[in-house]
A = this chain, B = another copy of it.
């Protein structure tokens, strides 16, 4: 394992050195989006300065060069998640679009009346709302896997909810609210035994945990570049080749066709069939650089660092009597995301107050309203860490948090 030097790492992130409200920025909103190292920004600029062109279509020098970079990005992503073939890697706009692609293409084709779609109650809206639409259109049923008191999932609940009628099982590998990491491999295995296909939402896990799609054996995996040091506007859909091969196209237009006649079209081979219009080569190049950067640091190191910070923050938070934590309280299968509430203080006031101390955290429903309702919490505050966060930032956050109740008139 390589040496992990957070001071050195911070130097790579220009965004982190700024002041906010006169205080050094303490950015604890990484589950929403991460900042970008110079390495990624440089790669994007280099792309525009030396290679920019519309790929796939041109025999000229820049066109060939842009095509190469775009396809190299695909190969990089394939390797990152250990997919079998580049045909299984589709570039999208973000995880949300990837999930919609599955719903519109796979869901519309295969889901039938009385079928079941099973997701977890802690899913992000992006893995719920598209399925409500499919369930509604197809008169299928959308079912939810609920959680235990300790915010973890009981396999018995999985065995109950996934039945012979289940066609699709969707679950985020890591909850963006609770931080819980679910046993996706077992869930996939059980889903397959019942004849269902599986979708793993890796938006939160891909930046932290090594994902091996062959080992997990999932049918689909989605994630977003911007949550893992990459630029905005690029996402990934992994799908098993044999499934993608049988799926109808989703977005239609340039680049995804073979022959277009006035009334009929035949479609291109994988992966192009699912990529319509001018692709975001910049985004793909930026994502490549982000993966290079992550691999240089090492996912093991990243995971360890996240655990260290999470453990430290959990301890500090649990020591504050008026703070309630929503999520597992130990590190077992748990990621670097902590949701909490401050007694008597609304999360939005918490956010506004700590912001004046330079601390960026998130308040609200975190795009997981069904979970919030299930937890009976209209909103929570959330902190989330990445490679550049430090213990002393957590100290600043805890100090600022201790001031919240004073500002809101609760004495000390």
Binding site for B on A (CB under 8 A): 14-15, 18, 20-21, 25, 27, 29, 32-33, 35-36, 41, 44-45, 48-50, 52-54, 57-63, 93-97, 99-100, 103-104, 121, 124-130, 132-133, 142, 144, 224, 226, 231-235, 251-255, 257, 259-265, 276-283, 348, 351-352, 355, 359-364, 367, 369-370, 373
B60 touches A48 (CB 8 A): no
A130: B residues at CB distance < 8 A = 252-253
A62 touches B133 (CB 8 A): no
Are A58 and B265 also in contact (CB < 8 A) when A95-B277, A232-B281 are? Answer: no
- Bound form: Cα–Cα A369–B268 in Å: 14
- Bound form: Cα–Cα A36–B15 in Å: 23
A234: B residues at CB distance < 8 A = 233
B355 touches A61 (CB 8 A): yes
Cβ-closest chain B residue relative to A99: B253
A50: B residues at CB distance < 8 A = 15, 18
B277 touches A369 (CB 8 A): no
Cβ-closest chain B residue relative to A354: B60
Partner of A369, one of B103, B121, B233, B259: B259
Partner of A260, one of B48, B129, B255, B262: B129
A94: B residues at CB distance < 8 A = 277-278
Are A15 and B57 also in contact (CB < 8 A) when A233-B93, A253-B126, A370-B261 are? Answer: no
- Bound form: Cα–Cα A54–B235 in Å: 15
A370: B residues at CB distance < 8 A = 260-262
Which 9 pairs show the lowest CB-CB distances between chains A and B? A96-B277, A126-B253, A233-B233, A233-B280, A96-B253, A32-B54, A60-B360, A129-B252, A254-B367
- Bound form: Cα–Cα A100–B352 in Å: 39
Can you list 21 A-B contacts with CB-CB less than 8 angstroms, sorted by A residue number? A14-B49, A15-B48, A25-B62, A29-B54, A33-B278, A35-B48, A36-B48, A41-B49, A44-B44, A58-B362, A59-B363, A61-B355, A63-B362, A94-B277, A96-B276, A125-B253, A125-B260, A128-B260, A129-B260, A142-B263, A235-B277
- Bound form: Cα–Cα A192–B352 in Å: 50
- Bound form: Cα–Cα A367–B99 in Å: 27
- Bound form: Cα–Cα A352–B315 in Å: 65
- Bound form: Cα–Cα A252–B133 in Å: 9
Interface of A is mostly: mixed
- Bound form: Cα–Cα A263–B142 in Å: 7
B49 touches A15 (CB 8 A): yes
B33 touches A251 (CB 8 A): no
A261: B residues at CB distance < 8 A = 369-370, 373
B126 touches A254 (CB 8 A): yes
B262 touches A124 (CB 8 A): no
A364: B residues at CB distance < 8 A = 57
Chain B's nearest CB lies how many Å from the CB of A161?
A: 13
- Bound form: Cα–Cα A277–B232 in Å: 11
Cβ-closest chain B residue relative to A373: B261
Chain B's nearest CB lies how many Å from the CB of A349?
A: 9
Partner of A57, one of B32, B45, B280: B32
B129 touches A265 (CB 8 A): yes
A99: B residues at CB distance < 8 A = 253
Residue with the highest number of chain B CB atoms closer than 10 Å, among A100, A104, A277, A348: A277
A224 touches B41 (CB 8 A): no
Cβ-closest chain B residue relative to A36: B48
Q: Other than A96-B251, A253-B367, A259-B369, give 14 A-B pairs with Cβ distance below 8 A.
A: A21-B61, A27-B62, A32-B53, A36-B48, A59-B348, A93-B93, A96-B252, A100-B276, A128-B260, A130-B253, A232-B233, A232-B283, A233-B234, A261-B370
Cβ-closest chain B residue relative to A250: B100
Cβ-closest chain B residue relative to A368: B260
